[in-house]
Chains A and B, each alone.
Chain A
Amino acid sequence: MRTSTRMAGALATVCALLAGAACGTDDAGGDSKDVEVFTWWADGGEKAGLDGLVAAFGTDCAEYKFVNGAIAGGAGSNAKQVLASRLSQADPPDTFQAHAGAELIDYINAGQIEDLSDEYQQWGLTNAFPKGLIDNLTVDGKIYSVPANIHRANVLWSNKSVLTAAGISKDATTLDGFFADLEKLKAKGVTPLALGKDWTQLMLFEVVLISDLGPAQFTGLWNGQTPWDSPEVAKAIDDYARLLTYTNKDTRDTFDWTDAEKLLIDGKAGYQLMGDWEAADLDAKQFTGYAFSTFPGNGTTFQWLADSFVLPKDAKNTEGTKCWLKTVGSAAGQKAFNTKKGSIPARTDADSADYPSYQQAAMADWKTQTQVPSCAHGAACSQGWQGALGSAMGKFSSDGDKAALRTALVAAAKQFVGK
C-alpha cells in the first residue's frame, strides 16, 4: 500500500515533468469556447492591429473567447519553431498566422491545414479579394488561408531634404535614371542607398529582377516558367551588384531594416528600399521629411505580401476558428486591423477615407496594378527557398562573386520549385 502511494507520487512527478504529454485521461483542453490565436504580433503596430481584430471578434463572435497565443521575437522565427513542434505533436492552436502564398506549401503538403474553398464562397470572399491575390492563394484548385492584410514590398523611401540638397527634384522611373541620382548623392558624400542584411538584400534583388524581367516573367521565376540562367537574370545580377556599390558597404551585413531606416532619418542616406511597414514606423518616430515612390523601373507593378490565418487539421474548436477567420476576412475586421498596423486591407471594397495618406495611395494601386508576390516574405516561395536565397545574398554581399550567385540561384530553383 505504502509503495503504491509512493509509486503514484512518483508517477505524478514524472507527469509534471513531462507536462504537455498525455498523462491520465482528463485532457486540459479547457472550455471549448476558447479560440487560441497563435501569432508573432507581440508589440508595436502589430499588437495594436491584433487588438483591433480581437475587438471585432468580440462583437461578431460573442459566444467565443479569444485566447492570445502570441510568441514574440526573431521576426517570427521563434514562433515558427514552437509551431512546428506543436503541429508535429498534433496539438495545434485553433488558428495560426502564416504568410499567405507559397510559404503555406509546407503545411499543405504535410496535410496540416484544411481547405477553406467552401467558406470562401459562403462568406463572399471570392469576389471581395482581387483576382491576382485569389490566383496566388490557390493551390491545386483549393484555398487554405484568409489574408488579414496586404503589405507592399517594392517601395523606395527617401529623405526629402537630402535629395533636395543633391539637386534631385523628381523620382526616377528607370534604373538608369536611378543610377544617375545615386551618383549625385555619392558626390554629396552621403550614403546613396541605405541597406540592411540578408532578407532586406533579397528584397532589393527582387525589385531589380522586376525592373529587368517585367512582372509576368518575374512571377514565372517562382513557378518554374522562367529560367534562372537567362540573360535577363544575368543583367539583373549586374544591376544589383552596381546598386550595392552605392550602399553602406561597411555596415550593411550588420544592419536590421530599422538601422538602415535610421540612416535615412538622420540625413546620412538618401534612399532606402523597404516594405510599407516603414510608413507606420516613420510616423511613429515622428519623422515627417520622407517621400516614397515605386522602385524605379517597376512601373505599375505592386509587389505584395500578406499575413493570413488558417484552419489547422486537428483544431479543437473548429466552429470558433471559422468565426475568427470570418472576422479576419470581413470588412469590419480588416478595417480594425489595418488602420492600426499600417497595412492595407486585402478586400477591394474598403473605404479609403478611413486610412492615412500613404495607405490611401497604396489602396488605389492595389485595385488597378499588376500584382506580383514577394519571396523574401513568403508569398512567392517556401521557407527553404527563402533560406537558400538569403544566404546566397549574404555570401554575395561579402565576396561579390557573380558566377557563384548565379549558380546558387539556379540550384535553389531546381531544388525548391513547387515545394
Chain B
Amino acid sequence: MLHYIGKRLLQLIPVLLGMTFLVFMIIRAIPGNPAQVILGQLASKEAIEALEIKLGLNNPWYTQYFNYLVGLFKGDLGESMRTVQPVTKEVWPYLAATFELAFFAILIAVVIGVNAGIISAWFQNSWFDYLAMVIALIGVSMPIFWLGLMEQWLFGIELHWLPTSGREEARNPVSAMTNLYVLDTILNGRFDQLGQVLKHLVLPGIALATIPMAIIARMTRSSMLEVMRTDYVRTARAKGQKMFWVVYKHALKNAIIPVLTVIGLQMGLLLGGAILTETIFSWPGIGRYIYEAIQFRDYPVIQSGILIVAFIFVMINLFVDILYGLIDPRIKYD
C-alpha cells in the first residue's frame, strides 16, 4: 500500500507541473495587462512600464515561467500583484471559507444522497423512488444561480428565516483565528455567533449540495439495484436476515465503491466550482478569490490559486482510491 501511495505521489509531480505550464500559458494568452489593471484608468504610460519592470512582466515568458517554478520549489507561491501580499499568506482565509462551505455541502449531499439512493433502490418503483428520482433529475438540471436566488428570496426576504449572504452576523463579528468560523466561534467562546454562523451556512450549503446530492442519489440507486440482484444478497435474504441489514450491511458495502468515486469527484468539483455560489451569497472563498484575480489579471494569484485547487483535487482522488482498497480487499494496489 505504502509503495502504491508513494508511486501515486510521484506521479503527481508531472501532472501538477503540466498544470502549471498550461495555466501559465493560458492566462498570458488572454489580453489585458496586469500593470494597467492594477494602476487603473488613471495610470500614465510611464507608470505602467515601471510597474511591468517591477513585476517582471517585461521578461520573456520562459524566464517568467522558470522564476515561477523556482519559487514554487522553494514553497513560494508568489506575491499578489494587486495587494502586494504573498499568496501563501493571503490564500488561507479564502481556502478556509471554501472548506467550511464545501464540507457542509458534501455532508448534506452524501447523507441525503446516499440514503435517498438506498431507499429508492430498496423500494424500487414505489412512490418514494419516483419522487426521489424526479427531484434528483430536477436537482441535476437546476442552474445554481437560479436556485440560489430563489432560496434568498424565499427564505431570506419573504420568510426571514435565514441570512442571505456572508458568513456571520456582521454587527458583532468574530475575530478570525483559524478562519473556519464554526471553529472560531467556539475558540472565542462566542456561542451567540455559533448559531449565526451555522445559519449562514445553510442556504449556500444547500445550493452547493444540490447537484452532487442528485448525482450521488442516482449513482447509489443504480449501483444498489445491481448489487441487490446478485446471488449473495439473495442468499442473505433467504437466510431470513432483516431487510435493513441486508441493504445497509451486505449490499451497500459493494454498491458504495462506484459511489465513492462520484463523491470524490464531486468534492473536488465543489472546491473549485463554488464560484457561482460564492458570488451569489457573497461568500469570500477560493472560487471568488481566483475569479477576482482573473478580472485583475493578477497572474500569481490565478496560477497559485488554480494549482492549489488542482492539488486538493488530485489528493482527494488519491484518498478515494486508497479507500477502495480498504473497503474492498479484492482491489489490490501492488
Query: Do they bind each other?
Result: no
Q: Mark B residues whose CB is within 8 Å of A.
A: none
